[in-house]
Amino acid sequence: MRILLINPPYLFEFYQETTIPVGLAYIASYLRRNHEVRIIDLNVEKVTKEGFENILKNFKPDFVGFSVTTPIFSTCTKIANLIKKINKNIRIIFGGPHPTALPEETLLNSCIDYVVIGEGEKTIVELVNVVEKGKTLKKVRGIGYKKDNKVVITKHRPLIKDLDELSFPSFNLFPLSKYTGSGFRNGFYSVTSRGCPYSCIHCAAHLTFGKKIRRRSIKNVIQELKTLKKEYKIRWIKFYDDVFTIDKNYVINLCKEMIKQNLGISWWCNTRVDKVDENLLELMHKAGCEQIAYGIESGTQRILNYMKKGTYVEQADRAIKMSRKIGIIPSGYFMVNFPTETKEEIKATLNMAQKIGVTYFRISMATPYPLTELWERCVKYNLMRDLDNYSKYGYLQNMLITNKEISKKELKKMVKYTNLKMFLRPVWFIDSFKSLLKGLIKTKKIKLPLVNVINYYKNIYHFSSDNTEVFIKRA
């Protein structure tokens, strides 16, 4: 069977740097064991309506699969409707966070044939195989479909226990030279684990990957890094684990093996402020860690408690200072406008972002994604504007949660002003120059590292790309 996988375009004001969609790359690898697969990433590939029609006619896919988050749900349905107009026999599959949270509602759209709920690799392969052989769908766990004009949701599929079963991501299906994300076009993305045991009320990750941590073996991770080094000459890797350092012993052993293998790869990761210590950071730095992004979230303890973060304000300051002392660049994620959050508490978080010492940063609006505890609270107490307009669920600028103390216009102004002040800090100039210099030394080209810095600036100020905009409007 032929399967076309689509990474939909992010056409809203939360548009980010273009990075390879790792999840789709894993799905493709699993499918390629028995099927022919092609990927279109509409964030980097400029595709007109006519060009898209030619792709469908030449590739002749039996299935088209979409990776769907809540903000791009309406965009995905527009593209799916276009596909059905071109060829009604092509079967449409929606997977990802949004259909996982709202499978029945998703299937109410006539253009969608199936939804994949939760982890997708094994499910989509079994779904395609069953449809190909004309067998019954009810035994395929973790899917939704329509029968006799009724939505059918099958039994829950258990999570993959051994992540080493997964093939390495199919990065060769992507137009690698077109990505301008954090890898300067010669870096890649990986995960060593899935799952997160924490209960942050705004996070939807557990809906797809569960709360139990499942890890790849260190041998498997090292083998992937070696493969990427050999095939793509990579110099950077970004680990997308939700909490990279959650298992201290695992990280210690992984770092020791990276040092032993002398991979010569710099890397970045995400973690919590309460999951690092000085000895661990020193080893990580020795193994090539150059940057850590911390989920700091709020500058007030009351809001940290409200969101069930499980950390203390003081821990953030400690983690940033330790990172700087050791030579790791600290980045920070911040979030404002939770229910009950006052104007003064928002100011405290924005002030913290400026003073705590992070180099790179992101200030987001608290966004209640479907089926999260935050979403349930907001629905229960009628705290959301544009509840059913999913295109408004962009987390960088859209103020979905109502706040009696501050208007949407005032809050956006405060955040943009903070962003501007963040860029005027000496630490930003110094660390950006160092990164630029390192990129120049490693790539021998000024353009690539400079593009990265420029795109980071564009990302913070929410400039949207015009990639595929004409295609969507004409669809």
Map out the domains of the chain as residue ranges: 2-153, 182-423
pTM over 0.85: yes
Q: What pLDDT shows up at residue 18?
A: 74
Q: What pLDDT shows up at residue 123?
A: 97
Q: Using CA atoms, how far apart are residues 265 and 287, in angstroms rounded to an integer?
A: 8
Q: What pLDDT shows up at residue 370?
A: 96
Mean pLDDT of successive 10-residue stretches along the chain, which has 475 residues: 93 58 94 96 88 94 96 94 96 97 97 97 97 95 95 97 95 86 64 96 95 97 95 90 97 98 94 98 97 97 98 98 96 96 97 94 93 96 89 80 93 90 82 70 54 53 41 47
Fold match between domain 2-153 and domain 182-423: no
Q: Which residues pair with 268 in a beta bridge?
A: 238, 291
Q: What pLDDT shows up at residue 137?
A: 96
Find out whether 10 and 72 touch, Cβ atoms under 8 Å.
yes
Q: What pLDDT shows up at residue 466?
A: 37
> What's phi and psi for 291, nearest 5 deg?
-150, 140
Q: What pLDDT shows up at residue 43?
A: 86
Task: Report the CATH architecture of 182-423.
Answer: Alpha-Beta Barrel (3.20)
Q: What pLDDT shows up at residue 356?
A: 95
Comparing CA positions, the residue from 209, 172, 185, 208 lying closest to residue 100 is 208
Task: Report the CATH architecture of 2-153.
Answer: 3-Layer(aba) Sandwich (3.40)
Q: What pLDDT shows up at residue 35?
A: 96
Q: What pLDDT shows up at residue 305?
A: 98
Q: What pLDDT shows up at residue 474?
A: 39
Give the angle subtended at the CA of 350 by the CAs of 347 and 353, to the nearest 5°: 150
